[in-house]
Amino acid sequence: MGPAGPAGAGAALALTCANFGPVAPGSAISLINNTVNDGISFGTTIGANQLGQSIVLQPGVYLVHLDAPYVLWSLPDFLSGLQALPQLDIHVFNPSGDSAFSYFGQVFQTPPNQGSTIMGGDRLVRVTGPNTTARFIVGGSLPLTFDGGCTVVIIQLQ
């Protein structure tokens, strides 16, 4: 085991989804910076506009938590029967090379070609360069609608 790191988190920021319609694969979700209303943030290494698609991070290690309790998806009729998994990726655009970390949803199929899912979890992300942007981008082949909203919490660990 290595030496103990510094106590406590260096910074934190809470965001929520702003998308109420379908978000196409390859598109970023829009996020609302909650600090305007809630004042839930501290530190200076995590930045986001009041409404935007990018988060700006400074070098360090971050815990990124996603909670999307009710995500809807649907397939066009011509893709009927396709087996696809709802997917949302966090892309970190590091100067030394991009990295993507995926959140997958468990599929609950309702009528043919439609379903809902719960997406969420925690990912550890390393940022290597100053002013590195991160975005949540719909992956896979299914458009997603965040009908139950979503919460993103980012905490700098070191």
As for how many domains the chain has, the answer is 1
What's the pLDDT score for residue 2?
Answer: 47
CB atoms within 10 A of CB 157: 15
CB atoms within 10 A of CB 109: 11
The answer to whether 118 and 85 are in contact (CB under 8 A) is no
- Examine residue 1 and state whether it is found in any structural domain, yes or no: no
First and final CA of the chain: distance in angstroms?
A: 17
- Examine residue 85 and state whether it is found in any structural domain, yes or no: yes
What's the pLDDT score for residue 155?
Answer: 93
What's the pLDDT score for residue 8?
Answer: 65
What's the pLDDT score for residue 83?
Answer: 53
**Cross-strand bridge partners of residue 73:** 115, 144
Longest alpha-carbon distance in the chain:
57
What's the pLDDT score for residue 114?
Answer: 66
Regions in the chain scoring below 50 on pLDDT? 2, 5
What's the pLDDT score for residue 5?
Answer: 46
- Examine residue 83 and state whether it is found in any structural domain, yes or no: yes
- Examine residue 41 and state whether it is found in any structural domain, yes or no: yes
- Examine residue 114 and state whether it is found in any structural domain, yes or no: yes
What's the pLDDT score for residue 39?
Answer: 58
- Examine residue 90 and state whether it is found in any structural domain, yes or no: yes
CATH number at residue 85: 2.60.120.40
What's the pLDDT score for residue 18?
Answer: 86
- Examine residue 100 and state whether it is found in any structural domain, yes or no: yes
- Examine residue 48 and state whether it is found in any structural domain, yes or no: yes
What's the pLDDT score for residue 21?
Answer: 83
What's the pLDDT score for residue 34?
Answer: 73
Sheet strands (E) in the chain: 11-17, 31-33, 41-42, 46-47, 51-52, 55-57, 60-74, 87-94, 97-104, 108-109, 114-127, 132-139, 144-146, 151-156
Domain that holds residue 146: 11-156
The answer to whether 63 and 152 are in contact (CB under 8 A) is no
User: Encoding tokens for residue 73?
Assistant: 């998806």
